[in-house]
Structure 1
């Protein structure tokens, strides 16, 4: 190669080197495993006494042949457990920040993640007032909430690749500043059309907090610590939707509904300041750094390859990611199907007359989310450690076992009790409130496990995997927000809750299948690609 370049014109030689370098940048659009994962595994293999080299390492590698067993181990994601701390070789990358710095990062991310979800529900308590302002109906107004959820679902296709390419900090900073501007636009919207537009734009920016923030958790915490950290991060995303209507109810009871969006604007502005001045960059390596020195044409070509939304969609060729995405979507469907119609369903049932009274019912699931924060993530990490002790290795799918009881039993049962207690007017106020509280607790036993699995299963493309998961969950959440009132009007809250409970139960069955056979699912896709 060197002799060949020396014979060429200097300009031609440089151009050929640039082209060769660009081609050498690994395009892992169709692969679930990266070289970093392989190095981590290789480094973690124990050497024989006496310092034998690569030959000994190779001789100890397990066979790549598929094994239809409960352990599903392969060199892709198997990592030996080390002593009682469960640390693994290569974990030094998670020691970049001190314990308290990590806590401050999680605090900033949790606060920011609070914004988009609370914006999706805070206006629900004021739906009659907003509908009256724009001379429309509550059903038409609910379309704006469905559109909000729809754009929350579409935007991960953009934010996932952006966070992977340009890093976490400045991607979040851009989203926070624009979220602030569009929140102010929602407060000032003069007509229904402009209100819809600003709400959609706000939703598009707000999802970045969830996608990039969640991925940043994976940047700074070891796999056996992520569940606990992610539980605190998720508390913002779930407590927001629950307490939003209560806050909105208080505001609209005393001042105009537009004050809800002015409060949102102020909170978003604070988030912008925190991110810009206090949030460090957490990504281990930005892909954009690989563009340095390349010709502009090659930079543009490679950049489009990295930020192409198809990178997120194409990951759904992995059945395990599809099933986990549907499971997450079933929980979001359940959450928004529970929260969206509270005022329309419970006001006539209990003869409530003010937004504050109906807003109090949102506190029940909110308190459940807060309670689950203290236990859900720790439970997920404890399950991972238990399986590591059992196997002597860590497998990404083992984490999913932690959410099965909550998803398969607690949430469906609570949903059925809630729906039929309202439908049949039994149990007074206490029974549906208890059911909503238990659902909230159970949700926090599910989301940390599902979300952290997305981080563990494909570390090099975690931002895109998380984006695909949110893409699915918020599209279905949009469907739930739009369909819940018409369906309840048609078949009643009892049967609607039964259908929702069945959906979650089926999703739990799929999650169990991934926990048992997920590794085989991934290997089949990867081996099929190698054959091609």
Structure 2
């Protein structure tokens, strides 16, 4: 059986080609973990997803809105720190500790919910996440002491953070690699909006209604999203519904499916294509996300992505205090100054998505691979690392220049437009680079996309928590200009890891695939 969309011409970088060809007939056995497209009886290939463009647009919008709650819950809290400190009778530094613990749990929780969703589906994972999140927000709005605040913030983070990994997994369920840049870009709009809108909304609510109104606002917003998911969000996990043609269990269907009879759910016409069910390489578990870092290629990408995000968080976490000390702004004015960085992050979603898809098509032509619409492009013989990192690496160097410029215009106390312009370009370039790295991780580990997204989230949040803890003392010691220069230097020096992946990642992936195939052959009687 031929691989999907690949002509007889092979790219020059293929290692052990003879072994690959000999094993082709074995790779589609149950449990092999290789997601090859299976031909139907008439010889044609089944579509990667049977959802219409309108349905994909709805699922993308719902997933993006759900992913908004995690970064929004983190940033909406920032303008209320002084108010919480006064009401709880604790120092501001102790309130800052609740931000650090939030980020730690934001990194840990998706490993559990992501692994769960790769086995049981995205809908039950969303339901669990929103139930936990709603309960935590109600408790936060009603609590009156610091201990309860700390504990409930951890619970809030655990409930909300899973939606980020689930959003990326849903996009991997629906989109082929040739169009994944566009869809993951759209799915990431909510993640980009969170740090932008959070301080503005939080500042207004705290100023006019008090800090408790922040948590009631989150209850209402997440409640609306939860209802939409219960009523209309379809199951997309390929281990459960394949390309969407296989009916899920009755408990895992949206409520509207019980009111409107459709063959996709009832399968009265026998249209379910069970050959599209994805067989997992191994049953995911919470440790799976951590174990991905032990692979040479994935580990380098995850660690560098975390380093990039840590620098971004160092800017975001210190921006409010820097603006207050330099310009004397109140909480509302500080919140508005986050908008340029957020607009840059949102703009990056369209920019980098189009660039990724364009470069994928270009590399496919160079490597002799034919792209078929709505058919998955297998990457066993395709250098996906070159296709993705050719966009990432230049963006990193631009981001380094932008953050240096931001640091020194703040250092020399230029007029306000100077920092705001540089915040826009810092947000644009940094989030673009991080988005391409995230896409590469999902591409490599497409069989367990939620686990891969959770691994990315784990490393970036843990390193981001450390960055928020040391950024302010570092600025106090050497100044914001040299701090920004230090961050840019780390980014530039660390980019050597990506150059290594650019050159060796494909060969490493081939070696790992051959090793796993040998294990499978030995275990097969």
Q: Is the aligned partner of 1:391 residue 2:380? A: no
**What's the counterpart of residue 421 of structure 2?**
434
**What's the counterpart of residue 419 of structure 1?**
407
Describe how 1:178-257 pairs up with structure 2 within 5 A. Answer: 178-257=132-211
Instruction: Flag structure 2 segments of 5+ consecutive residues without an equivalent.
Output: 28-32, 37-42, 250-279, 370-381, 520-525
TM-score (norm 2): 0.80
Against the structure 1 CA distance between its residues 153 and 212, is the aligned structure 2 distance closer, same or farther, given a 3 Å change threshold?
A: same
Greater radius of gyration (CA): 1
- Matched residue of 1:343: which SS? helix
- Matched residue of 1:306: which SS? coil
**What's the counterpart of residue 506 of structure 1?**
493
How far is the alpha carbon of 1:284 from its aligned partner? Answer: 1.6
CA–CA distance in structure 2, aligned partners of residues 157 and 441 of structure 1: 28
CA–CA distance in structure 1, aligned partners of residues 511 and 238 of structure 2: 29
CA–CA distance in structure 1, aligned partners of residues 164 and 493 of structure 2: 26
- Matched residue of 1:280: which SS? coil
- Is the 8 Å Cα contact of residues 422 and 432 (structure 1) preserved in structure 2? yes
How far is the alpha carbon of 1:459 from its aligned partner? Answer: 1.6
- Is the 8 Å Cα contact of residues 116 and 285 (structure 2) preserved in structure 1? no
- Is the 8 Å Cα contact of residues 371 and 441 (structure 1) preserved in structure 2? yes
- Is the 8 Å Cα contact of residues 211 and 467 (structure 1) preserved in structure 2? yes
**What's the counterpart of residue 212 of structure 2?**
258
**What's the counterpart of residue 296 of structure 1?**
none
Q: Is the aligned partner of 1:357 residue 2:333? A: yes
**What's the counterpart of residue 469 of structure 2?**
482
**What's the counterpart of residue 297 of structure 2?**
320
Against the structure 1 CA distance between its residues 252 and 531, is the aligned structure 2 distance closer, same or farther, given a 3 Å change threshold?
A: same
**What's the counterpart of residue 510 of structure 2?**
523
**What's the counterpart of residue 70 of structure 1?**
none
CA–CA distance in structure 2, aligned partners of residues 328 and 160 of structure 1: 19
CA–CA distance in structure 2, aligned partners of residues 447 and 422 of structure 1: 24
CA–CA distance in structure 2, aligned partners of residues 60 and 198 of structure 1: 53
How far is the alpha carbon of 1:473 from its aligned partner? Answer: 0.7
Query: Which segment drifts farther, 455-464 or 161-170?
Result: 455-464
**What's the counterpart of residue 221 of structure 2?**
267
CA–CA distance in structure 2, aligned partners of residues 500 and 134 of structure 1: 35
What do residues 192-239 of structure 1 show as CA deviations (whole Å, max 9, x unaligned)? 111011111111111211111111101111111111111111111122
How far is the alpha carbon of 1:168 from its aligned partner? Answer: 0.8
CA–CA distance in structure 2, aligned partners of residues 432 and 117 of structure 1: 23
What do residues 135-180 of structure 1 show as CA deviations (whole Å, max 9, x unaligned)? 2222221111110000011112212210111111111121112211
Instruction: Flag structure 1 segments of 5+ consecutive residues without an equivalent.
Output: 1-38, 48-56, 68-73, 81-88, 293-302
- Matched residue of 1:314: which SS? helix
Query: Which segment drifts farther, 504-513 or 198-207?
Result: 504-513
